[in-house]
Chain A
Amino acid sequence: MSMFPYQMRFLVIAIALVVLGGVVVWGWTAGWGMAAIVPLLLFVVWLVWRLLKEATLLPNQFNYFLRSLIGHDYMIKFPTTRDKTLGNIYENMNRIVASFKDNLLDIEYKKLYYDRVLRIMAHELRNTLTPVISLSSDMTKNPAKYAGKRMEESAEIIYDQCCTMKNFLDSYRMLSHLPTPDRAEVSVEELFRKVQRLMGDIPSVTFSWGKDMTICADAEQLIQVLTNLIKNAHEATEGMDDATIQVVATEADGTSCIRVTDNGRGVPEEMKEQIFLPFYTTKSGGMGVGLCLSRQIMRLHGGDLRLSSHHGRGASFLLTFG
């Protein structure tokens, strides 16, 4: 039965019902015996039941669909069926449920991200403002005390703190105003040469790439990512005589990737996911947005930035493009 389209089934049953109904009435008036009428009547009743079932199938499924969405139950799934019309409807409803589920995950992730950013911003501001409030308050109450050198010293402290706040805001702006990549086919060789020029002469860095390899990417953003990774690698290998930093671009099955590997301090297991968080830094002077920004850039390129590291045995960052 389910092979036939939904609407056709409905029509068939309706027609059968009318015909049979007519037969029963005609039989009744023609004086047929109960033995003939009753089975036919039963058949009519069965047909009515089937008709109701067909009529209420879609509304019931639809009701189930709506209740699930309202109740935030995104685990429901409608079955595949040979009935093409119904099948299409079920498929679309499944798609909508999946989309709702993805949105929810997206919202959760964003919420955590912004919670963290706001918390750190508040902490930073509070800490940076403390010496400014203390000092300027004392200067207002005891102006005679702040003459000559003391005035210079105080003004410098207040100025430095304001610069710190500005730097923090600038870093945040970089994170929140990342432009969509302007992608074009870029020669890997040219790209690497540009990076080398920008970074100056770091002897431990070596570049290698496939012959005539190109990558579809926003050159400026990619350079930003590479310089950030190489700078981190350089810091991780500081003081080492045998420091090596390798930047390797490879192509396989139509997908390109670049790997930046160093033999430095490495990243402890518990920090491996945290280093990509905004404003996460272990350096006293650092802002902590470099890796967060780099990963965002790679994700905007349809790829990702991942880390593999064995603590104490260096780190390897993989850039994938989509």
Chain B
Amino acid sequence: MYDYKVVVVDDNQAVLKSLKLVLEDVFASVVTLPHPGLLVSILAAECVDVVLLDMNFNAQKITGEEGVSWLRYIKSVPNPPAVVMITAFADIDLAITSMKEGAEDFITKPWDNETLTNKLLAAIDKRRYRQQQNEKVKKADDLINRHDTVMKMTLDEMERSHIVEVLMECKGNITEAALRLDISRQTLYSKLKKYGIVV
């Protein structure tokens, strides 16, 4: 049992019911929606890991336009879930378009259950990897900004800033901080007084 939340969107009741039965022992939470409009509230409220989205919702116009526009919507919300599209057999153009629009993967009807599960898990992993990369980039940005700021500091300002940071890391423990800074407690105390740092 994987502790993930899966949302399935398809206008066919039988598909929804059968997928719920097949997936509910594999994923902690399986939600079925007959229409993508209902995604709006679900995505806003809850942390969804992956959405399994059907490409066609109109019985007559089997073009997949609707599916693609909903895909775009899903990817536009903050911290979007991974998306696996359900396309019609041999609909290569549509599959390529969805990948370009950010879908993690696609699967055709009818599918093999194991393949579907693997694709869902892989999509979730891809999403997590992307989130981690984003975090790394954010950290790198922060570091660069910090560096820029630091380069503009005077020696005293640098010393002060460093002492504050080490103290924060040591959670106010003077002894530990002094050890880290490789100075005596006495020296540290006088520095604290000098820079007006209150612990």
Contact = CB atoms under 8 A, between A and B. Distances in A.
Interface of A: 123, 126-135, 137-138, 141-142, 145, 150, 153-154, 157, 160-161, 164, 274, 280-282, 284
Contact of B110 (A134, A142, A280): A134
Binding site of B, secondary structure by majority: helix, strand, loop or mixed?
Answer: loop
Interface stretch (B19-27, B124-132, B174-182): B19-27
Given A126-B88, A282-B60, A145 B25 contact: yes
Given A131-B12, A131-B15, A280 B60 contact: yes
B140 interface: no
B17 interface: yes
B89 interface: yes
B113 interface: yes
B14 A161 contact: yes
A141 B22 CA distance: 11
B18, B59, B60, B62, most chain A CB atoms within 10 A:
B18
A130 B62 contact: no
B110 A129 contact: yes
Contacts of B21: 135, 138, 150, 153-154, 157
A153 B17 contact: yes
Given A123-B62, A284-B59, A133 B110 contact: yes
A282 B14 CA distance: 19
Contacts of A150: 21
Interface residues of B, number: 20
A138 B113 contact: yes
B177 to A, nearest CB: 58
A276 to B, nearest CB: 14
10 residue pairs, one from A and one from B, having the closest CB atoms: A131-B18, A130-B110, A131-B14, A135-B18, A130-B109, A133-B110, A138-B22, A131-B15, A134-B18, A157-B17
Contact of B113 (A129, A134, A157, A161): A134
Given A131-B12, A135-B22, 17 more contacts: A123-B88, A126-B89, A126-B110, A127-B12, A127-B15, A130-B110, A130-B111, A131-B14, A131-B15, A131-B19, A132-B18, A134-B18, A134-B113, A135-B21, A150-B21, A274-B60, A280-B60
Nearest to B19: A134
Nearest to B116: A134
A130 B15 contact: yes
B112 interface: yes
Interface in B88-137: 88-89, 109-113, 116
A150 B18 CA distance: 11
Contacts of A123: 62, 88
B59 A281 contact: yes
B18 A157 contact: yes
Contacts of A284: 59
21 contacts: A126-B110, A127-B12, A127-B15, A129-B110, A130-B109, A131-B15, A131-B19, A132-B18, A133-B110, A133-B111, A134-B22, A134-B110, A134-B111, A134-B113, A134-B116, A137-B112, A138-B21, A141-B113, A153-B17, A160-B14, A282-B59
Contacts of A134: 18-19, 22, 110-111, 113, 116
Nearest to A129: B110
B64 to A, nearest CB: 13
A284 B116 CA distance: 27
Nearest to A135: B18
A128 B14 CA distance: 8
A129, A130, A145, A284, most chain B CB atoms within 10 A:
A130
Nearest to B25: A145
A270 to B, nearest CB: 11
Contacts of B17: 131, 153, 157
